[in-house]
């Protein structure tokens, strides 16, 4: 019997039921999709299966026992069920994290990288000082242990403009022709794949005019790449102008700006600098920073920062400066002048920071971890231990022992944050710094109870402890705390303009 009221209510019911029907279908599809990886994991034989580890991923906030399957250099499965692999490794009791990304590594050779990879680093980039020309980018292909890359080096370009005269490059302004030439070099480097522009501003402090500095910001803004800057340090240690001038330029040009090593250039200003960076970000400016976990800095004995009244700006004297080959401190101006003349390329260690400044920086959510590791090329040489133990030191000393930041937070600062700094213009970085399906299998596996740095100022050439396995692109580079000899799987990291 026709019953209009029933019929209309029937239609209404169906219409009313439609969203429920649709959501049920959606749920079924989601369940099906989530089951596919499970089904695949049951039958697929991966190139490598890492079973039973504590998988920590900063993108999804996963921190749980999972099994990781790797196929063709990428992460292909993350599963609760154990996975089959041509090779299966039991990593139970160990943390499985994305490989660490170091935005600030001067030691761009395999000797230094052997220490870095034993410290968990799978990508080490020279972004503070950079390079020009970028020949090394191609020359090192197939010869590098870990992934590598460079910024366009302002200092190198300046030296070239000043025809190899370092003193002039450090302290003389550029005329219009020279400025054009220098910008041309940096543009070429960016075309060749440089990851931004690297500026050791305090080293060339008096030579760089306001016009030159602004032109560098404008170039970076036009190319949509960041500037990595060692800021100027005024003589007065309460003076905030070193950072302010760069934040003002960031606002004016809308460039992206990364302040390198906030503790060694900030000193007692660290809390103020962090606040300035916070408020710049609140205004929508793209400003970031980094720190290394040591109370001493390091640089060349003949670097430009010692050509002027350095005692004032650092608040130290000769006794705070260490000569690494002997471990002794400088005793007088005479000794200092003599060493500067005798050891033209000597590197020194400057005991200038307080532990509380290091902690203020490392515990702040905006601060990434980056080593500032210095170059060495033989066991006989000694350098600052930060190039050997920076990352294990953060995990062991600052997470486990001092508890100033959580393990998850430390991993985020070493992986996702540096990847995000670069990924807007370097697509390869979108697959790094995370432990998700499809990401590059750059993976660091460590013992959270044991991990610690062993490199000291007195004996820097020591590998970190507790970094058990390290994979670069799915290949073991460290296995059972030993470097796998003869493996050179590091790839160049370049911007998306490379070769354009």
Interface residues toward Zn ion, by CB under 5 A: 230
> Could you tell me the smallest distance in angstroms from the CB atom of residue 420 to Zn ion?
22
Report, in Å, the least distance between residue 131 CB and Zn ion: 15
What DSSP line would sit under 160-203, residue for residue?
A: HHTTT-HHHHHHPPP-HHHHHHHHHHHHHHHHTT--SEEE-GGG
Q: How far is the CB of 22 from Zn ion (least distance, A)?
A: 57
For Zn ion, give the closer residue by CB, 57 or 290. 290
Residues 6+ apart with CB under 8 A from 393: 293, 294, 452, 453, 464
Nearer to Zn ion, 370 or 417 (CB): 370
C-alpha distances out from residue 265 to 229, 242, 298, 371, Å = 11, 9, 12, 14
Q: Are 477 and 120 within 8 A, CB to CB?
A: no
How many Å from the N-terminal Cα to the C-terminal Cα in the chain?
A: 75
Give the separation between CA 150 and CA 356, rounded to whole angstroms. 31
Q: What is the DSSP string of 433-454?
A: S--STTSB--EEEE-TTT-B--
Nearer to Zn ion, 230 or 386 (CB): 230
Comparing CB distances to Zn ion, the nearer of 230 and 434 is 230
Helix, strand or coil for residue 326? Answer: coil
Q: Determine the Cα–Cα distance for residues 127 and 379; give it in Å rounded to an integer.
A: 25
> What is the nearest approach in angstroms of Zn ion to the Cβ of residue 128?
5
Nearest distance from C-beta of residue 281 to Zn ion, angstroms: 22
Q: What is the C-alpha separation between 452 and 283, in angstroms, rounded?
A: 38
Closest distance to Zn ion from the beta carbon of 297 (Å) = 8
In terms of DSSP bridges, do strands 467-472 and 475-479 run parallel, antiparallel, or are they unpaired? antiparallel
- CB-closest chain residue to Zn ion: 230
For residue 404, the SS3 value is coil
Nearer to Zn ion, 203 or 323 (CB): 203
Measured from the CB atom, the residue of 230 and 431 that comes closer to Zn ion is 230
Length of the chain: 500
Backbone angles phi, psi at 282, to 5 degrees: -65, -30
Nearer to Zn ion, 57 or 202 (CB): 202
- Is 362 or 489 the residue whose CB approaches Zn ion more closely? 362
């Amino acid at each position: 019997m026709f019953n209009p009221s029933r019929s209309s209510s029937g239609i209404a019911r169906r219409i009313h039921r439609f969203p429920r029907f649709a959501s049920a279908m959606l749920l079924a599809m989601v369940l099906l999709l989530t089951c596919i990886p499970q089904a695949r994991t049951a039958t697929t034989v991966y190139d490598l299966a890492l079973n039973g580890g504590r998988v920590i991923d900063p993108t999804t906030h996963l921190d749980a026992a999972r099994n990781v399957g790797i196929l063709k250099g990428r992460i292909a499965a993350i599963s609760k069920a154990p996975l089959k692999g041509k090779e299966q490794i039991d990593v139970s009791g160990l943390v499985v994290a994305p490989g660490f990304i170091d935005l600030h590594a001067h030691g761009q050779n395999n000797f230094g990288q052997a220490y870095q990879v034993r410290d968990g680093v799978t990508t080490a980039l020279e972004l503070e000082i950079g390079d020009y020309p970028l020949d090394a980018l191609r020359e090192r292909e197939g010869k590098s242990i870990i992934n590598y890359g460079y910024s366009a080096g302002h200092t190198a370009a300046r030296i070239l403009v000043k025809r190899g005269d370092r003193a002039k490059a450090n302290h003389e302004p550029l005329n219009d022709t020279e400025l054009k030439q220098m910008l041309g070099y940096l543009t070429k480097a960016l075309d060749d794949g440089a990851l931004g522009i690297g500026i050791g501003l305090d080293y060339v402090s008096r030579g760089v005019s306001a016009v030159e500095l602004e032109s560098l910001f404008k170039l970076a803004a036009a190319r949509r790449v960041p500037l990595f800057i060692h800021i100027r340090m005024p003589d007065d240690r309460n003076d905030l102008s070193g950072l302010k001038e760069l934040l003002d330029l960031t606002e004016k040009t809308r460039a992206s700006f990364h302040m390198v090593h906030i503790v060694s250039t900030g000193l007692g200003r660290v809390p103020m600098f962090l606040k300035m960076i916070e408020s710049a970000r609140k205004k929508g400016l793209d400003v970031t920073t980094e720190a290394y976990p040591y109370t001493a800095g390091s640089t060349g004995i003949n670097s430009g920062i010692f050509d002027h009244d350095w005692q004032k700006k650092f608040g130290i004297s000769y006794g705070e400066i260490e000569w690494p080959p002997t471990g002794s401190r400088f005793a007088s101006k005479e000794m200092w002048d003599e060493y500067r003349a005798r050891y033209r390329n000597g590197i020194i260690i400057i005991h200038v920071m307080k532990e509380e400044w290091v902690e203020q920086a490392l515990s702040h959510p905006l601060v990434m971890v980056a080593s500032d590791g210095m170059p060495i090329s033989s066991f006989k040489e000694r350098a600052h231990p930060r190039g050997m133990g920076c990352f294990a030191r953060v995990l062991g000393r600052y997470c486990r022992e001092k508890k100033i930041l959580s393990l998850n937070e430390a991993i985020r600062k070493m992986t996702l944050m540096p990847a995000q700094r670069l990924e807007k213009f370097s697509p390869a970085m979108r697959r790094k710094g995370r432990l998700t399906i499809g990401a590059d299998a750059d993976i660091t596996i460590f013992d959270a109870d044991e991990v610690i740095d062993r490199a000291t100022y007195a004996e820097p050439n020591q590998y970190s402890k507790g970094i058990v396995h390290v994979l670069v692109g799915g290949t073991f580079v460290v296995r059972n705390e030993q470097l796998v000899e003869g493996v050179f799987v590091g790839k160049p990291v370049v911007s998306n303009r490379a070769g354009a």
